[in-house]
Structure 1
Amino acid sequence: MGSQRGPAAGWGSSGAPEAADNHGALAQTYARITATVADLADTDLLRPTRCRGWLVVDLLFHLTLDAQRALVALATPAAGPADVDAVSYWRTPADPGEGRHAAWVRRCAAAFDHPTGVVRLWTDTAPAAVRAAGMADPDGFVASQGRVLAVPEFLATLVTEAVVHHLDLTVDLPDPPEPEPTAVEIAVATLDGLLSDDAVRPADWSDRDYLLKATGRLPLTAPDRLALGEAAGWFPLLG
């Protein structure tokens, strides 16, 4: 995901949870994704998601790549200081190769004999990433996608992406588990930082509404735009 935001406040002002909460939230949100997909039949893994052109199996493969990226980053500490935090990380312009990545993910997921093969890969990889996160120095730094982050901030970026993609993953699945509440708080804090101190989300939005509208999954209505004022032009805050 990439950011399309306007002015943003710093992460420290957003009220995000601390390092231990970030690790716990990552563990819980990955566990809920596992609970969502673990018992799905191949036919259910071929249901659509909110990510255009991606089936459940494709999005799960993308999430597995994210967990693999976490494993690599956490196993190779970087020298500080950080050059981004858990909010400014998302301000990097969208990668012009994202369209190619989407097609590559589809091809990779389709290469498995059965979609459940991707589930097995996820269930091997996600817990390993969580364990690595738990063993990482909370005062240390990691490098990921060309940026340097403090470990807790890096974990918060993983949580934010996982929460949004949990909502993407479950749009066509029957009775899926909801994202983990602490993880939702971290994702919401990220969006608050991107929205800035000069604007607030409409009072009638739930956290779910906020996550879906601020990431472009749902369109802004006319009342939304009126309530947001100038800030409506910053949406989506994340792509």
Structure 2
Amino acid sequence: MKVGHEEARAAFLAGLDAFVAVAEELSDADLMAASRCAGWTTGDVVVHVHLGLQEMLLGLVSATAEGAGGSAVVADADAAGYWRSSPPAADDADDQLAGMRFVRLLGAAYRRPSGAVRHLLPTVAGIRTAATRLPPGAVPFQGHVLTTGDFLATWAVELAVHHLDLGRELRLPPPAPAALRLARSTVEALAGEAAPSSWTGETVVLLGTGRLRPDAGQRAEAPALTGKLPVLG
């Protein structure tokens, strides 16, 4: 699944703005509500997204149009293939549970949950500037090399998924349509099956990430697809 530079940048920036707009409207009580991520509050999701954007910023500043000696940089993963592998661990003791607990502990360190949102905003400003100025090229990231379009697309998907995660107990505006479309396309590319056109992007993404389980009607309507879900972590 290849995504063009300008398409991906527009989707990413729209997804970023939509996520931040929702986060800024959440009260301290809202930020303590349960999210769709097991064990995390909505405030913890904000912390997780902030950590991810900080890592993304390192990728943006290391983007290049050329490799050593002026040779072309060859991407080894695309916008869907990136999700098929786990990022390399910095610590042998790292695992999914350790990562979940780290985010919870970091979120609990703020005196009020809204502090996590305020802390997010300067990073967002830097990310927006860097993404706007980013020329087409390649980005080494988490053991892979991606084109800038595919790199930005993966983060548009990340933002769309976590935007949906905020809405388990809260009634919130939906993710940016462009980011949600990329998230749906990613689920379908990973599954190798198209979802029924009658299914909304939100439904496809929630099923594709395991946030929801297919019901009997969905299994009957799309057995090949639902039999492969979830496909996106």
After TM superposition, the score normalised by the length of structure 1 is 0.86
2:70 aligned partner: none
- Give the Cα–Cα distance (whole angstroms) in 1 for the partners of residues 18 and 97 of structure 2: 28
Contact 1:46 1:55 in 2 (8 A): yes
SS in structure 1 of the partner of residue 29 of structure 2 = helix
1:90 aligned partner: 83
Which deviations, in whole Å up to 9, do the C-alpha atoms of 1:111-143 show, x marking residues without a partner?
A: 1122111101111112311211121221x1112
2:97 aligned partner: 99
Q: Greater CA deviation, 53-62 or 77-86? A: 77-86
Contact 1:23 1:130 in 2 (8 A): no
Amino acid across the alignment from 2:122: D
- Give the Cα–Cα distance (whole angstroms) in 2 for the partners of residues 137 and 88 of structure 1: 22
Contact 1:87 1:194 in 2 (8 A): yes
Amino acid across the alignment from 2:78: D
1:161 aligned partner: 158
Higher relative contact order (CA 8 A, sep 6+): 1
Gaps of 5+ in 1: 1-10
How much has 1:93 moved relative to structure 2?
4.6
Number of residues of Structure 1 aligned to a counterpart in Structure 2:
221
Amino acid across the alignment from 1:181: P
- Give the Cα–Cα distance (whole angstroms) in 2 for the partners of residues 177 and 205 of structure 1: 18
Contact 1:26 1:130 in 2 (8 A): no
How much has 1:227 moved relative to structure 2?
2.9
SS in structure 2 of the partner of residue 155 of structure 1 = helix
Contact 1:202 1:224 in 2 (8 A): no
1:4 aligned partner: none
Q: CA RMSD in A?
A: 1.8
- Percent identity between matched residues is 33
Amino acid across the alignment from 1:227: E
Does structure 1 residue 207 correspond to structure 2 residue 201?
yes
- Give the Cα–Cα distance (whole angstroms) in 2 for the partners of residues 59 and 186 of structure 1: 20
After TM superposition, the score normalised by the length of structure 2 is 0.88
1:183 aligned partner: 179
Q: Greater CA deviation, 43-52 or 122-131? A: 122-131
Gaps of 5+ in 2: 68-72
Contact 2:79 2:154 in 1 (8 A): yes
Q: Greater CA deviation, 183-192 or 66-75? A: 183-192
Q: Greater CA deviation, 42-51 or 93-102? A: 93-102
- Give the Cα–Cα distance (whole angstroms) in 2 for the partners of residues 200 and 24 of structure 1: 24
Which deviations, in whole Å up to 9, do the C-alpha atoms of 1:154-204 show, x marking residues without a partner?
A: 000000011011001122223x221111111111121221121xx321343
**Cα distance, 1:98–1:43 mapped onto 2, change above 3 Å:** same
